[in-house]
Structure 1
Amino acid sequence: MSRILVVGASGTVGSELSRLLAAQGETVVKATSRKPGAADQVQLDLVSRAGLKAAFDGIDRAFFLAPPGHADQEALLAPLIDEAKARGLKKVVLMTAMGANADENAPMRKAERRLEASGLAYNIIRPNWFMQNFNTFWLHGIQTAGQIFLPVGAAKGSFIDARDIALVAARLLTSEALANRDFDLTGPRALDHAEVAAILTRATGKTIVFTDITPEAMLQGLQGAGLPRDYAEFLVLILGYFKAGYAERTTDAVLQVTGQPPRTIEQYAQDYRASWV
């Protein structure tokens, strides 16, 4: 068994990944930017790099991601990758996002390239948009107005359940069979947001609709919610890519890595029904 550092352990993917690894008998060290509140936590501030070296003490393998709210993901991920290299970790799994490798100058792609050149055994996973966005980031509009407000028109996305992302990460962290490969992770089919709204309506019995808004309105809303302007602009930019059709592609990567098909949006809606009712 290994001692595995999970960065982002309190997040949507990281929390489920930590649970899966612990259930397999692995020793999980959960990185937190706050003062640790449990024996399995270690303080690590990716912005200031405080606690960086201590977080890697005794670590064999690691899962990295850049936390939301920061547009320059490379600045946060590079020190993690460099420390992993210095410690000679047996395996690193890096989560970026589908499409991150489309632009060699993008911060996420630079982080991917840094890991690829590190000499470490690695995997890179690039998930598409999370299904769980509908019960987190887009939840306010659904709860208060029964609407999903996004500037994406009728474009489709092959949304993926974060639980499947975590399952993929857990398999890759604990196996060498697929080392040094990257995987674009998607759900089983592509849907537009009106179709998603209809599925949520059927699951909840509450009328939920999709409303297309302008990028400017989205930017204003994100900033009004307290997001830094550069990160809000980054989100609007990638939503523009969604509208352009770049999120529609599907892959069989979840099945290939885990041996089981990805969850459907209907299953997600039933499992998270309490979020919207």
Structure 2
Amino acid sequence: MDLVKTILVLGASGTVGSELSRLLEAAGHTTRRATSRASGPGQVHVNLVTGEGIADALMGADAAFLMSPPGHVNQDELLGPVIEQARTHGVQKVVLMTAMGADADPSTPMRKAELALEASGISWNVIRPNWFMQNFNSYWLHGITHAGAIQLPTGNAKGSFIDTRDIAVVAADLLQRSEFDDREFDLTGGDALDHNAVARILSTAAGRPIRYEEITPDAMRAGLLSAGLPAPYSEFMLIILNYFKLGYAERVTDAVQTIIGRAPRTFAAYASEYRDAFVR
């Protein structure tokens, strides 16, 4: 295993970044936890929108985990300067997290960011996770709590949801060894489930009825805007939710098993471990 010493983690306060930072520190590495509001030991301030803090955060770093902050659709403009600074500062390895399907169109901002990394001369991995299991205890939780329903415009289509903790394990593994350098991976769970099946699993875990309620895109848009999401990002969310409805999230890959040597967590395991979020 090719160990590195100092690793920058963008989005370190998020679901993937926080767990990734914990795993890297447990393995003995120095982790620079980059957030837009650095406030504690080991944290560094990085503002991808203004570029503030990028160079300082990368100085002396051996490797970096990159992702675009939620709420923005210009991922190439935000991540391009980070990739260039990583090259300038001699970073040896970068793992970039985008999203499954990002490679479908080379003109999209997310794919442009991937291509910039691949052309940088830095050893790299791109990981493209499918929809997060943890969305149900965060973004979709309001409907579950207040209406007893998962409220989404996704029809009966299936998704191979993945636990964010598995994404973090994959990223940690890739940052610490070179076996899979310069490769891209679509990360999924082990099974594809529609939202009716998800609702049944959550109901069992919570001990109360939870159902799936299909809503219109207009209703979804209103909910996203009322939650404070910017209009362009709300439209982006509607586009990718429509891709879900069209069946593009159903594919299952063996990438997690290949990289970390075990199967991804099941949705039932996730629901049981996050049970407290759903019993209210």
Bin of the TM-score, shorter chain as denominator length? over 0.9
CA distance in 2, matches of 1:52, 1:95: 18
* 1:31 counterpart = 2:34: yes
CA distance in 2, matches of 1:235, 1:26: 35
Could you tell me which of 8, 17, 26 is aligned with 1:5?
8
Deviation, structure 1 residue 39: 2.2
**Which aligned runs of 4 or more in structure 1 are off by greater than 6 angstroms?**
none
Partner of 1:22: 25
Q: Secondary structure at the match of 1:206?
A: coil
Percent of aligned positions that are identical: 58
Could you tell me which of 246, 249, 252 is aligned with 1:250?
252
CA distance in 2, matches of 1:124, 1:271: 28
Partner of 2:88: 86
Q: Gaps (5+ residues) in structure 2?
A: none
CA distance in 1, matches of 2:74, 2:214: 28
AA aligned opposite 2:7: I
Q: Secondary structure at the match of 2:91?
A: coil
* TM-score of the pair, normalised by structure 2: 0.98
- In the TM superposition, 1:55-70 aligns within 5 A as 55-70=57-72
CA distance in 2, matches of 1:80, 1:14: 17
CA distance in 1, matches of 2:90, 2:61: 10
Deviation, structure 1 residue 100: 0.2
- Do the aligned residues in 1 keep the contact of 2:8 with 2:32 (CA within 8 Å)? yes
Deviation, structure 1 residue 37: 2.0
Q: Secondary structure at the match of 1:165?
A: helix
Could you tell me which of 247, 270, 273 is aligned with 1:271?
273
Partner of 2:220: 218
- Do the aligned residues in 1 keep the contact of 2:96 with 2:126 (CA within 8 Å)? yes
Could you tell me which of 194, 197, 203 is aligned with 1:195?
197
Partner of 1:126: 128
AA aligned opposite 1:68: P
Q: Secondary structure at the match of 2:151?
A: strand
AA aligned opposite 2:215: I
AA aligned opposite 1:30: R
CA distance in 1, matches of 2:28, 2:227: 40
AA aligned opposite 1:57: M
- In the TM superposition, 1:100-139 aligns within 5 A as 100-139=102-141
Partner of 1:144: 146
CA distance in 1, matches of 2:31, 2:90: 18
Q: Secondary structure at the match of 1:148?
A: strand
* 1:44 counterpart = 2:46: yes
Q: Gaps (5+ residues) in structure 1?
A: none
How many correspondences in the alignment? 276
Partner of 1:173: 175
CA distance in 2, matches of 1:57, 1:42: 12
CA distance in 1, matches of 2:213, 2:223: 14
Task: State the Cα RMSD in Å.
Answer: 0.7
CA distance in 1, matches of 2:23, 2:41: 18
CA distance in 2, matches of 1:105, 1:215: 25
CA distance in 1, matches of 2:269, 2:50: 40
